[in-house]
Amino acid sequence: MSNPSLLILPGDGIGPEVMAEVRKIIGWFDARRGLKFDVSEDLVGGAAYDVHGTPLTDETMAKAQEADAVLLGAVGGPKYDSLDFSVKPERGLLRLRKEMDLYANLRPAQCFDALADFSSLKKDIVAGLDIMIVRELTSGIYFGEPRGIIKEGNERVGINTQRYTESEIARVARSAFELARKRGNKVCSMEKANVMESGILWRDVVQEVHDAEYPDVELSHMYADAGAMQLVRAPKQFDVIVTDNLFGDLLSDAAAMLTGSLGMLPSASLGAPMANGRPKALYEPVHGSAPDIAGQGKANPCACILSFAMALRYSFDQGEEATRLERAVEMVLADGVRTADLMQAGDTAPASTSDMGDAVIAALDASL
Ligand code: NAD
């Protein structure tokens, strides 16, 4: 049987720097745990635009469709800000998400004990926090038609449309319930059923899927604005939160900040199962290309490393190895290894991107 395939798209800015550390870790799992992947690498974002005049070529898109998992660094940067919207680096990422039909975006918000002081909230509110936000990613207001800026009389009108079909809601609800069964068995669905028809349908369909297929999972519903308040008031009440594209965008960023640095946050975007049973999947750190620190060896590679851990768990059925990698990161933090973004007053010289990668490898060695 051939090895599972992994397509790596480092992208722009700090993307290639953090991905280099993930390559070391992939090498470690190959050498020390016998986990073999057929790894290939390609261009995305500005890096692809520079070579091909497009942020994602059809060939790379086809490779992504074939791969068992795609791991992406980050795209974008000031160099590309003035490009036409159609060829901006971000369009490459949006095309991947759309054409792979990655409808469930998994955003864990987990607070490592060693970093609890980094949260803007009190330590006891966030210590031990472990929630998963499942955001619908391929529909809703970012894609609905009609959209545009039109002229009405003497003024311009900006239009976007929130639109959800039952099946779009049902499939992301299933993703959330499946995840909950492997975690704390609780789902909270968030919408604005009080003011939006799409919210009423969202609530109804999530409830129907629950009653028919997942009655064992505890389900609650909350208006998204109240959910935002609860997330900062008492975030540990949640296990899995499922919500639409727009609210998920906001709530997952807010939840992310509960845990400290952007440099620590992984994500996964999953689609329907392929013929081999694996879901279509794209893994990427939450952060962007960080042009302010690119090329300086300052980037924290942990978000990208933890994204690979998610790939191990959700694409390659290697839950134990995923946990090994997550524990290694936790251990490194507990030992006080800090990249610049994790430094606090009184800390000595920061670890570089590759120091952090090496420390994770050493912790993996120690785990054997
Ligand atoms: P950003 O996430 O790139 O950076 C925000 C801040 O966080 C910066 O100060 C940066 O130095 C810091 N930071 C981010 N990741 C870090 C890491 N791993 N280690 C240490 N510090 C880190 O967001 P931005 O500055 O708003 O955007 C920069 C570019 O990235 C833009 O072109 C934007 O469009 C793009 N972007 C891409 C993605 C993506 O590829 N998924 C996501 C967000 C932004």
Q: Are residues 353 and 271 in the same domain?
A: yes
Last residue of a domain, one of 258, 290, 316: 258
Does the CB atom of residue 90 touch ligand 1 within 6 A?
A: yes
Does the CB atom of residue 73 touch ligand 1 within 6 A?
A: no
Ligand 1 centroid, distance to 342 Cα (angstroms): 15
Question: Residue 182 catalytic?
Answer: no
How confident is the model over 122-148, as pLDDT tens digits? 889 998 899 999 999 999 999 899 999
Last residue of a domain, one of 224, 258, 292: 258
Q: Are residues 203 and 304 in the same domain?
A: no
CATH number for position 251: 3.40.718.10
Chain center to CA of 26: 19
Q: Are residues 29 and 90 in the same domain?
A: yes
* Residue in 18, 71, 82, 262 to alter for ligand 1 test, most ligand atoms within 8 A of Cβ: 262
Question: Residue 249 catalytic?
Answer: yes
Q: Which residues of 135-149 are buried (b: 16+ CB within 10 A; e: fewer)?
A: bbbbbbbebbeeeee
Cα angle 146, 152, 155; round to 5: 115
When the pLDDT of each residue in the chain is averaged and rounded to a whole number, the result is: 95
Total domains in the fold of the chain: 2
Does the CB atom of residue 343 touch ligand 1 within 6 A?
A: no
Is the pLDDT at 326 greater than 90? The verdict is yes
Structure tokens at 47: 């890096």
Is the pLDDT at 320 greater than 80? The verdict is yes
Task: Tell me whether residue 117 is in a domain.
Answer: no
Name the band, by pLDDT with cuts 50, 70 and 90, for residue 325. Answer: very high
Q: Are residues 275 and 235 in the same domain?
A: no
Q: In the 3-class helix/strand/coil scheme, how is the chain assigned residue by residue?
A: CCCCEEEEEEECCCHHHHHHHHHHHHHHHHHHHCCCCEEEECCCCHHHHHHHCCCCCHHHHHHHHHCCEEEEEECCCHHHCCCCHHHCHHHHHHHHHHHCCCCEEEEEEECCHHHHHHCCCCHHHHCCCEEEEEEECCCHHHCEEEEEEEEECCEEEEEEECCCCHHHHHHHHHHHHHHHHCCCCEEEEEECCCCCHHHHHHHHHHHHHHHHHCCCCEEEEEEHHHHHHHHHHCHHHCCEEEECHHHHHHHHHHHHHHCCCHHHCEEEEEEEECCCCCEEEEEEECCCCCCCCCCCCCCCCHHHHHHHHHHHHHCCCCHHHHHHHHHHHHHHHHCCCCEHHHCCCCCCCCECHHHHHHHHHHHHHHCC
Q: Are residues 18 and 87 in the same domain?
A: yes
Question: Residue 192 catalytic?
Answer: yes
Report which residue type is found at 150.
Answer: I
Task: Tell me whether residue 121 is in a domain.
Answer: no
User: Are 260 and 342 contacting, i.e. CB atoms less than 8 angstroms apart?
Assistant: yes
Of all protein residues, whose CA lies closest to atom 30 belonging to ligand 1? 288
Does the CB atom of residue 341 touch ligand 1 within 6 A?
A: yes
How confident is the model over 299-309, as pLDDT tens digits? 999 999 999 99
pLDDT at 299: 98
How confident is the model over 245-291, as pLDDT tens digits? 999 999 998 888 887 778 999 999 999 989 888 899 999 999 999 99
pLDDT at 78: 97
Q: Are residues 68 and 142 in the same domain?
A: no
184 annotated binding-site participant: no
Q: Are residues 140 and 253 in the same domain?
A: yes
Q: Are residues 294 and 210 in the same domain?
A: no
pLDDT at 344: 78
User: Are 205 and 169 contacting, i.e. CB atoms less than 8 angstroms apart?
Assistant: yes
Q: Are residues 181 and 241 in the same domain?
A: yes
Instruction: Give the ligand 1 atom nearest the CA of 77.
Output: 32
Is the pLDDT at 345 greater than 80? The verdict is no
Which position has the token pair 């010289």? 349
Domain that holds residue 166: 130-258
Instruction: Give the ligand 1 atom nearest the CA of 81.
Output: 32
Ligand 1 centroid, distance to 338 Cα (angstroms): 18
Last residue of a domain, one of 213, 232, 258: 258
Q: Are residues 158 and 191 in the same domain?
A: yes
Question: Residue 142 catalytic?
Answer: yes
Of all protein residues, whose CA lies closest to atom 38 belonging to ligand 1? 288
